[in-house]
Each structure stands twice: as structure tokens, then as C-alpha cells.
Amino acid sequence: MGSPNQMISILAVDDEEPLLYLLEGVLTQEGYRVKTADDGIAAINMLQAEPFDLVLLDVKMPRVDGIEVLRFIKDSFFDTQVVMLTGVHELKVAVECMHMGAYYYLAKPYATNELLTIIDRALEKRKLVIENKTLKSELKRHALSSEMVGNSDAFLKVIQVASKVAPTDSSVLIQGESGTGKELIANYVHRNSERKDLPFVALNCASIPETLIESELFGHEKGAFTDAIAAKQGIVEIANKGTLFLDEIGEISLIVQPKLLRFLQTGEYRRVGGNKNLKADVRVISATNRDIRTEVAEGRFREDLLYRINVITVTLPTLRERPEDVASLVDHFLKTKVKSKTPVQIDPRALDVLTKYHWPGNVRELENVIERAAILCQDNLIRMDDLALPLGTHTRHGAGGDRQTSAGRLGSALPMREIEKYHIDGVLKLVKWNKSMAAKILGISLKTLYTKIQQHNLTPD
């Protein structure tokens, strides 16, 4: 087991060679990864080459002094903590440096224990800053951790593959239809990796306008475009040393794909409007509901980027491919999603209908159906009539729950495209063409719903 400090990188900057040598020895003995620079220009060059968690920075140096280096750090590396090293007569300058964003100052000569204590506090502050930025994502991640529900062979095979790849640092591509739980698997891989105590940052590429995706990924400098009133970190910087989850990666435009490829190959990137090469160390997990190889064949996705993101491919089964998990999922949703003083139960006939239904929206659609039924049901019992499924999926008073769509029985010689068409049409009619509600029930994005409406030529008539 290595030192807990071995993941922490420190840059020591001082023009006094004996002091620099002493600093390097003390910090290395404590288990930190240490690099040194003997002047401000060398320090800036090293900062541009790789990220550091902490910089120990002498104030008075020839050519470029510590104040200029501090200004550069605070303009470019928001999370990096800086401790100023000063002579006694420079205390006034040191206080000014703290106003500029330095964490603390140490007057020379200083005791080793004092130095290590200040370093611990500075690193703790950095940790809090990062946790604050990733709080929403982390809360969501912990909420997801209890939602791995399923005992079917198809589902357990996915968990087996995810368990094997998790401890490695390999890129993972998760494929599956919308609503199958791709983010759950990404979260599972992160929680079982060496980076589990570091940030897990997710970005849904389909939810970001094409013109802003590069800025969201890599950040931007002040004035890079009209609304860039201040510099902004990209998620690759926020996720540094942790895991970056790129959901719906197939939505990234061909303009941004080469920049993402370069980052995956080298760890280097530039903020929009910037000319400095920055570095970040992240494990990338991607997900898509598209046939990504078809996207490559049709020129919408770079083949070299595909090879970079899918060292390991995890393909999630649809819910219709694991019907034996429906009962467990229903029980899970009734316990975790339904806020009721009295437990809500489900009629066996209603459960039979849910088990036999084809679930084009997968687990997300099932969750929405159960949540709605639990709210609207009488006597805390979900009956067949409470299920918001397309007309004809079940009979109102039948005992067996016929598996029908508006076009006829499921399981007949009916193409999947037709099943999808009638299902989407049925849901839209059920909610009186409230597209936002229909998209939620179907477990797809509003953008995807509009595409489906156009593809199937659906109208409110």
C-alpha cells in the first residue's frame, strides 16, 4: 500500500538552491510527488506542462518574481493552492499575496513541522473547493449507488465485465438504448476503481448546444466570446485525477472531436480563447445509445476517436431482454421513489402486464410508470387501470393482461419501427401531446422525441 500522499503533486519554487534541495528532501520523505524550479519562468513553464495541487513559492526571485507567478496561477489554475515563502521584511508583500489568492505565507526560516502543517491545511482547502464544485454530481452518484437492481443472467454478465474493468485505468464505452442505466454502470465502474475517492463528473453531451460543448469540456478564457465575462474551468479540469463520464458522446460534433481525441491521447488541452497548453489526468467513461460503428461508417464519428474511447465495451441489455428483473425493479421503485406513509402494493395482474410489456423506454420508462401509478392509485394498490401504458397494452377488465398495441398483438410479425411508432403515438395521445411529459414517460430527451415525431410523421390528429 503506497503513501496516501503519492497522488499529490507539489511544485517548490525558490532561487536558493540549498533551500530548494532541503524542501525536496522533506516533501519526498512525506510521500509527495515533488518537482522544483529555481526561478519564476521555469515555474510557469512547468505549470503549463502539468497540473500541481500545491505550489510553494518564493516571493523574491530574479527575472519573474513570485507575485507574477502567483497571478499566473490564479488566472489559470483555480484549484491550485499557493503558499508564499518570504523573508521577514517581506511580510507586507506576503499579506498582499494572500489578498490575491495565496493560501498562506511562511516567513523564513521556518520549522519543518510548521511547513507540513500548512501544507496539510492548504491541501484540505483544495479538497473542499473541488468537493463543492462536484457536490451535485457526487450526491447523484451516491444516490445511484443503491440502484443496481437485477438478477437476470444478462444483467449479471454486465456487472461481471464492469467489475473486471473497474480497477484498471482503461477507457470504457457503454452502449445501450436510452433508459437502460448507462450512468449507473459508469458510476459502478468509478466506485470500484482506484479513483473512487476522487471526483466523478458527468456531462450529457446531448444537452449542451454544439457551439458550447468545447467550452463546457475545456473551459474558456475571459473575453473568448460575447458572454465570457470571466474565465471558466472546463469539466476536464474539475475532474482532474478522477473520472469523466461523457454521456451521449455520439452527439459531439466533428469540429470538437479532434480536440477531444488530442486530449485523450496526450492529456493536454486548451481553453477556448487561450493559447496555453494545460494538462489533466482523467479516466474517461463514455456512453451512447447510437450504433457508433454505423456513425463511423457514415462519417459522423471519427474512427480514431472510437478506438480511443472503447478499449473496453460494455453493452447493456434492454429491459425486454431481461423481463425477470421487472418484479425486482418495481419493488425497488415502490420502496425508493414513492413517498407514502402506507406502503404501496401492486396487483399481481398489473405486475403481469408490466412483465409482458416490451418497454421501449426501458428501466427509465418503468420507473416513470410506477411513480405515476403510485400517485394516482386508490387504497395504495396499483391496479391495471393505473398503468400509463399505450391503449391496448392491456384490457381494462381482463384477467390475463393481453399484450397488444394499437396495431395488434406484440410478438406478431410486426417490425420494431412500427411498434415504436404506435407506442410513441399512444403516449402522446395519453398526455394530450404534452411533449415534455411524453419524453419523460418514454425515457428519452425532448430532442429525441421531436426527431421520432418527424421520422414517424406523427400528428395530434
pLDDT digits (tens, 9 = 90+) for 290-304: 889 999 999 999 999
Helices and strands, counts by H and E, the chain: 19, 18
Q: Which three cell numbers stand for residue 416?
A: 420494431
φ, ψ at 25 (rounded to 5°): -65, -45
The reported pLDDT for the residue numbered 298 is 92
For 188-206, write each residue's pLDDT tens digit: 999 899 998 888 999 999 8
**Segment 124-168, tens digit of pLDDT:** 888 877 766 555 555 444 444 456 788 898 999 999 999 999 999
Classified as helix, coil or strand, 63 is coil
Q: Which three cell numbers stand for residue 151?
A: 438478477
Cα 110 to the chain's mean position, in Å? Answer: 42
CA dihedral 447, 362, 179, 163 (to 10 degrees): -160
d(CA 185, CA 145): 9
Cα–Cα distance for residue pair 333/388, rounded to 1 Å: 16
Minimum mean pLDDT range among 66-80, 144-158, 251-265, 443-457: 144-158
pLDDT at 427 over 90: no
- Give how far Cα 8 sits from Cα of 106, 120, 128, 338, Å: 20, 11, 15, 43
In sequence order, what are the beta bridge partners of 175? 288, 315
Digit-coded pLDDT (tens) for 366-423: 999 999 899 888 889 999 888 888 755 543 333 333 334 444 445 545 567 778 888 8
> Which grid cell is 21?
534541495
Residue pointed to by grid coordinates 445509445: 289
Beta-ladder partners of 350: none
| Residue 203 three-state SS | strand
pLDDT mean across residues, the chain: 84
Q: Are 81 and 53 in contact (CB under 8 A)?
A: yes
The strand pair at 408-409 and 404-405 is best described as antiparallel
CA distance 221 to 228: 7
- Give kind and range of the element (H or E) at residue 143: helix 135-144
Cβ 53 vs Cβ 8: under 8 Å: yes
For the record, the C-alpha cell of 41 comes out as 519562468
- In sequence order, which ranges of 180-291 are alpha helices (DSSP H)? 182-191, 213-218, 235-238, 257-266
Q: How far apart are CA 236 and CA 60, in angstroms?
A: 33
43-54 per-position pLDDT tens digit: 998 888 788 899
Please give the share of the chain, as a percent, with pLDDT higher than 70.
89
Percent above pLDDT 90 for the chain: 41
The residue with greater pLDDT, 57 or 396, is: 57
- pLDDT tens for 77-135 read 878 899 988 876 666 787 788 888 899 888 888 888 999 999 999 998 888 777 665 55
CA–CA gap between residue 171 and residue 321 (Å, rounded): 26
CB 8 within 8 A of CB 51: no
CA separation for the pair 384, 262 (Å, rounded): 53
Residue 1 clears pLDDT 50, i.e. is over it = no
- pLDDT at position 423: 85
| 3-state DSSP assignment of residue 212 | coil
Element (H, E) at 135: helix 135-144
The alpha-helical segments, DSSP class H, found in 283-346 are 292-297, 303-309, 326-336
> For residues 133-144, b (16+ Cβ closer than 10 Å) or e, as one string?
bbeebeeebeeb
**Backbone phi and psi for residue 415, each to the nearest 5 degrees, phi listed first:** -60, 150
Q: Write down the residue that cell numbers 475545456 correspond to.
A: 218
pLDDT for the residue 24:
92
Confidence (pLDDT) at 135: 53
Burial 13-32 (b: 16+ CB within 10 A, else e): bbbeeeebeebbebbeebeb
Dihedral of alpha carbons 249, 267, 309, 306, sign: positive
